[in-house]
Structure 1
Amino acid sequence: VAETGLTSLLLDTSAVPSEKLHYLQLYSSLLGKLDTQKYTREKLNTLSIRYLNGAGFRLSTIPQKDWNDFAPVMVISWPGLMGEYTEQLDLVKEILLHTKFTDNATILDVVKSQIAGMKNQFTNNPVNLLITRNYALANNCTNYQNYISQLEYYDFLVKLEQALQTNSYDVLSGLKSMHGLVLNRTNMITMFSGNENNIKKYEEAIMSLVQALPAKAVVMQDYSKLPRPAKKEGIAMDTSVQYNMLSAPYERMGTEYNGKLIPIGLVINENYITPKIRFGYSAYDNIVNFTSTGFMLISYRDPNIRETFDVYKGLPAFVKGFEITQEELNRYILKAFGTYTAKSGELSGGIDAMDNYLMGKTPEDRLKLLREIKSTTVQDLRDSAAMFENLLKNGARSTVGSAEKISTAKDLYDSILSFGQ
């Protein structure tokens, strides 16, 4: 990695009350876009590109085990030359400590830009909206992520746009209040990935930033009661194609995460879902994914709704009756093994290792997963039928699509929302 280092700072945001979470999201997105005591926003942008590779602040989470327990954080992560490390940290410190939340016009422009960007994303590529809202039902962590970044945040911005034009004082006060809740070195985490010679430089230099922040007690908030989407939800938009999803956490499927599920997913995708959804019903793409917390089926740019969910209903019968030998299954095992042993970059690999540590993942967990992948048998495929039956019974069903299509399948949903209609 020569003289390049990758630094990440994680600030604890668990003191922010639920009713202020959308202010927190806006606050994080404004850092680096407003004047500070030393720099105009134009100069700040130039320096950010020069020293921080254009990195910005964002909200994230550190989930634990089943993702119901998690630590909410505000993160900035940037690569940079170690010969300029002092300049990098000084710039981050200036942004954190001395951003001026007084420029109503610029804040209004940012809000308008975010509204336009989110509307464009929701309308033209709503798959992230679909996944986040659907999976919000799986655990508290994903529900938090959904609440702070999707439709609820969009609605907040729309109202805020009006407020900035009629009563900006309350809005600016709300943003300034985030300083007191977020700027705190208590529970702060700093991470660095680089060569061995530069670790000492990082350890010495980073303290100038850490010590500049106050140390205050953190009163942790309870985010388990945030609003959740309906279990069966349709979202009508101005689109001619649909995005469908069925998912469930493992506990609702009567099982636990196991490496054997990975090659099973590949078998299902190649021999059942793709031939049916893509080749049979002309969807642009589909996703079959076993994550560490649950399973999801997604159709992408799909002309259908009911037909797709009918295909999903056939999963138990497929895995029970699909003819495959162990030798043929080994091909999927090798593919899964290769995917999960692929190397990441040196710098990003270091940060990934630290992320895994924070989430309680160990190297032994990875080895266990690989051993499970290698041990998958045809009988394991057959036995997965019960798991998929539970998916159909207990899973969350969602569609983002045209109002006309959703209306013809309205019996599939408990709730139908409308966006941009």
Structure 2
Amino acid sequence: DLFTNNIAYVQIGFDALSIPLDKVPYLSLVGNLVLGMGTRKHSYMEISQLLGIHTGGLRSWHFTSTKINDHKSLLSRIFFSGKGLMENLDHLFDIWDEVILEYDFNNPKRLVEIIKSSKASMEDSILSSGNHYVLSRLNSYQSLLGQYNELTDGISYYRFLETLLDRAEKNPDEVAEEFKGITQSLFTKENIFVNITAPESDYKKIEKRVLSLTQKLPAKKQTPAILKFETGPVNEAFLTASSVQFVGKGTNLFELGMEYSGRFDVLNAVLRTCFLWDRVRVQGGAYGSQSSFDSYSGDYGLVSYRDPNLTETLDIYDQIGDYLENLDISDKELTKILIGCVGRLDPPMTADRKGSASMVEYLTGKTYELKQKRRDELLSTRLEDIKSFAGLFRKIKESGNVCVLGNEEKIKKSKNRFEHLVKVFD
């Protein structure tokens, strides 16, 4: 119940845990096909025009996470997010009903276009945002969520797109049938989940259209698929023609026995703004670096961005334990860091962002009481609390995995640091 200036923000999601492991990579494209291939009534161009005339847009995205305090659980939903003025609500839901219930994948040329476009976008992204793919690969070494996300958004997914494009060009009907089977498994009454952000006075009108759509979906019982991931290679280096590297090292902190508290956020801020900034960026010449922690899954990764170095950066990561043990910062500096952390905890948000954040907290089990506990832990952090993490980072030094994406010649000079060298592009 929020003031939205007469705009309805609606997110309709479908549980994807019934999709078997070999079909999981298809999930990243399902939304693009549903919204981008047209229906039995309208072409994809006509659907796009209708959305532009009557709504604020309709987009799809794949949400994955674990639940709070259960890092071995898995959440996976395909969402369609739409917005429109309340006076155009019926137009929005008429289009929604059509794309969900009357999608049409029988357009081989358009099918190949969408797959080809996705592959081309990933090629550009791998070269320009290699840190994302290095972090994804690191996470796949160490958690169920990481393995799942690698299949839908990592280098493994790029490999899938290469194969899928070849198949779609040779036999588009077969590929279209596979996507159709996945949508039929997804779009059921049992799977649907709806998040509405609007004033209470508008809720009944939106609910009526949601219930109408739900009643039209098939009542098909789905059982969660058994996801048995094979143990793959670790400590990989991915070779490209790039002149820079994206250098990563990480592990799962929950598996190392760490219990997450708000104090870790302060530690992370110290590493980002002090140690990594000075050593990797200023002295090392990298464009940037990150210390990334997923408080749901426990996955942790240190990754540099457009880094001229490789082994030097990995050595810097291994020095964090010693740095923390000898850390000495003033109370004034620590207070500035705490203020920055609180700013990230409570950023200003628009109504639709508040609605989305509330939905994620509901799905993952993140309560107000837990958020307040984390905030209290953060605000009470002292220098000794930060220094106490030195032992944890010594464990990461010894047992952490590494992953690098970058210049082929540079990587081959340091090949003894890796177990596998893999060319990204043929």
Fold match by TM threshold 0.5: yes
Query: Number of matched residues?
Result: 420
The one-letter code sitting in structure 1 at the alignment partner of 2:275 is Y
Answering whether residue 159 of structure 2 is matched by residue 130 of structure 1, we say: no
Query: 1:118 Cα deviation (Å)?
Result: 1.2
Partner SS for 1:244: strand
- Alignment check: 8 A CA contact 2:134 2:246 kept: yes
Answering whether residue 306 of structure 2 is matched by residue 301 of structure 1, we say: yes
Answering whether residue 320 of structure 2 is matched by residue 315 of structure 1, we say: yes
Partner SS for 1:75: strand
Aligned partner (choices 402, 406, 409) of residue 401 of structure 1: 406
C-alpha offsets along residues 153-197 of structure 1, whole Å, 9 cap, x if unaligned? 322222232323333332222122223211211031101011121
Q: Distance in 1 between matches of 2:27 and 2:301?
A: 30
Q: Which residue of 2 aligns with 1:240?
A: 243
Root mean square deviation, CA, Å: 1.8
Q: Which residue of 2 aligns with 1:141?
A: 145
Query: 1:227 Cα deviation (Å)?
Result: 4.5
Q: Which residue of 1 aligns with 2:267?
A: 264
- Alignment check: 8 A CA contact 2:248 2:403 kept: yes
Unaligned 5+ runs, structure 1? none
Partner SS for 1:106: helix
Q: TM-score, normalised by structure 2?
A: 0.93
Matches within 5 A, 1:169-180: 169-180=173-184
Q: Which residue of 1 aligns with 2:33?
A: 30
Query: 1:228 Cα deviation (Å)?
Result: 5.7
Aligned partner (choices 329, 333, 337) of residue 338 of structure 2: 333
Q: Distance in 2 between matches of 1:169 and 1:67?
A: 39
1:9/1:301 CA distance change after superposition, 3 Å = same
Q: Which residue of 1 aligns with 2:368?
A: 363
- Alignment check: 8 A CA contact 1:136 1:228 kept: no
1:166/1:332 CA distance change after superposition, 3 Å = closer
Partner SS for 2:40: coil
Partner SS for 1:99: coil
- Alignment check: 8 A CA contact 1:252 1:391 kept: no
C-alpha offsets along residues 74-117 of structure 1, whole Å, 9 cap, x if unaligned? 11112211111111111011011111111111111112212211
Answering whether residue 118 of structure 2 is matched by residue 118 of structure 1, we say: no
Partner SS for 2:365: coil
C-alpha offsets along residues 112-144 of structure 1, whole Å, 9 cap, x if unaligned? 212211111112322221121111233212321
The one-letter code sitting in structure 1 at the alignment partner of 2:24 is L
The one-letter code sitting in structure 2 at the alignment partner of 1:190 is V
The one-letter code sitting in structure 1 at the alignment partner of 2:416 is D
Unaligned 5+ runs, structure 2? none
Q: Distance in 1 between matches of 2:166 and 2:210?
A: 41
Q: Distance in 1 between matches of 2:112 and 2:101?
A: 22
Query: 1:62 Cα deviation (Å)?
Result: 4.4
Q: Which residue of 1 aligns with 2:157?
A: 153
Q: Which residue of 1 aligns with 2:14?
A: 11
Aligned partner (choices 96, 99, 104) of residue 95 of structure 1: 99
1:270/1:2 CA distance change after superposition, 3 Å = closer
Aligned partner (choices 383, 386, 389) of residue 384 of structure 1: 389
1:73/1:131 CA distance change after superposition, 3 Å = same
1:367/1:412 CA distance change after superposition, 3 Å = same
C-alpha offsets along residues 38-87 of structure 1, whole Å, 9 cap, x if unaligned? 11111011122334533222322242124421222111112211111111
Q: Distance in 1 between matches of 2:116 and 2:333?
A: 54
Q: Distance in 1 between matches of 2:54 and 2:136?
A: 33
Q: Which residue of 2 aligns with 1:184?
A: 188
Q: Which residue of 2 aligns with 1:104?
A: 108
Partner SS for 1:31: helix
The one-letter code sitting in structure 1 at the alignment partner of 2:339 is L
- Alignment check: 8 A CA contact 2:143 2:299 kept: no
Q: Distance in 2 between matches of 1:382 and 1:14?
A: 41
- Alignment check: 8 A CA contact 2:130 2:305 kept: no
Q: Which residue of 2 aligns with 1:291?
A: 294
Matches within 5 A, 1:71-82: 71-82=75-86
The one-letter code sitting in structure 2 at the alignment partner of 1:215 is A
1:256/1:294 CA distance change after superposition, 3 Å = farther
- Alignment check: 8 A CA contact 1:16 1:181 kept: yes
1:323/1:162 CA distance change after superposition, 3 Å = closer
Partner SS for 1:56: strand
* Higher deviation after alignment, 348-357 or 333-342: 333-342
- Alignment identity in percent? 23
The one-letter code sitting in structure 1 at the alignment partner of 2:62 is L
* Higher deviation after alignment, 386-395 or 287-296: 287-296
C-alpha offsets along residues 332-382 of structure 1, whole Å, 9 cap, x if unaligned? 122212321223222211221121011000001110011001111111122
1:378/1:407 CA distance change after superposition, 3 Å = same
The one-letter code sitting in structure 1 at the alignment partner of 2:304 is S
1:285/1:24 CA distance change after superposition, 3 Å = closer
1:237/1:39 CA distance change after superposition, 3 Å = same
1:73/1:103 CA distance change after superposition, 3 Å = same
Q: TM-score, normalised by structure 1?
A: 0.95
- Alignment check: 8 A CA contact 1:236 1:416 kept: yes
Q: Distance in 1 between matches of 2:164 and 2:333?
A: 57
